[in-house]
A and B are shown apart, each in its own frame.
Chain A
Amino acid sequence: MSTHHVEMIINGRRHAADIEARIALSDFLRDDAGYTGVHVGCEHGVCGACTVIVDGQAVRSCLMLAVQANGARVTTVEGLAAPDGSLHPVQQALLEEHALQCGFCTPGVVMTLAALTADDKEPTEEQLLAAMSGHICRCTGYQGIRRAAKRLAGANQEKT
């Protein structure tokens, strides 16, 4: 059983720790760094609740070891809203389209949509909806999530 020193930038802040190799990134973010917005659902990559952004890409944090994120830049749902509390466009779209009820799956949904719409990317509606297949939600029936995704596809195209 090996232990490793890891350092990563989480939501813009440096976080360092000595950890066992077997610790998943999801557990590290929650238990060591305190970002409990990372929701752990199935722990085998099916449900999508633990999705975070690692170096610009949406990934399952339960399918990555924390030691593998050494040196990486990680964003969780806590890192999206502005310091004054104003919501990220993805969060705003989900709010306005009533795309959540219990909210368990929501952080994962938000992070996938945030990764795909980051910077000047212009995802199509089809791309955003296809990426939503990687998230399981048990209460909204998906229609609100679909509407929010469609709105986000339109939003970036209107900007240009």
Chain B
Amino acid sequence: MIHADILVIGGGPSGLSAAIAAGKSGAEVLLVERSQYFGGQLVKQTHMFFGSEKQHASSRGFDIGKKLVEEVKKYGNIKIFHNTTALGIYEDGVVTLEQKIGAEEIYLKVRPQSIIIGTGALEKSLPFPNNDLPGIYGAGAVQTLMNEYLVKPGKRVLMVGAGNIGLIISYQLLQAGVEVAGIIDASPKIGGYLVHASKIRRSGVPILTGHTIVKAEGDKHLEKATIAKVDDHWKPIPGSEMDMNVDVICISVGLTPSSAFFWQGGCEMKYVRELGGYVPKRNRFLQTTVENIYVAGDSAGIEEASSAMVEGSIAGFAASHDLGFVYEDFDREMQDLLEELQGLRGGEKGAHIRAGYEKVMF
């Protein structure tokens, strides 16, 4: 049995930030990450971040990940396990882990006093005929393939979804030397930031709003996509179909929180459309309805890496505080973090997220 006051599941932006905050507070922390790298989806973010300076604005995503990992390593009271998958939370408080060491796998147990869950999100798909053909990938998958493994997804891509992820990844496809045939979105408006959309348009890639994908065709790999205009009810208009010869379709229609551990841990859950799916109810310190389980990052609701980092810090300081490990400047730090989070969710763009959070706060 491994000893830890606080177990952090997930080594992405929220988990790393949670571990740092708990480490600063003096708790014994175990941070587990299933992949070989820490940083979560930051490792493939080659673009510059917006937001406040405190959350590393104008740094590239992968550099932010590296900084957080370096920070974590400064604390002797934080143990970090990569290649380690949390398998289950048991009724007696034990969490089981599977750790890969080379080609071997070992089984470990930990009984933490508290758990911070930052398991991120899953990519959604879309229903259309032959949507399972090789060549049809989640947009994040294409980003992973290009920016982590330096492999092109194919020759000519149709991007489905003109939100920020769809726009950013389209631009990254161009940077990798891949042709982007077009970006479509069923909505009448581009969902992502104008600055990203303009960059794409300047590169000559058409953005077709009010269009959806109707079907894909191919034998063992995608060969053709058919798109069509949609009416006011988002239904394809017969006769408006258009064929596109593409070998890749990138699906960028949003993410849904990775919620398995909250269900297993017995947290009260709620379906919140604005947050991307089922999420645990929580107070403003990110404590769920199960006293010793906290939530942070995309698994709390789909947002951005900037807010995931702030949430991680809040959960890390709060979970430590509740166990009696109180950071010397706790009150001021917590006040700052809560204000920062409010700032990140401010304005018109944040209205959607704010509406979502109102539904799950207690």
The answer to whether A and B interact is: no
- What is the interface of chain A, defined by CB distance below 8 A to chain B? none
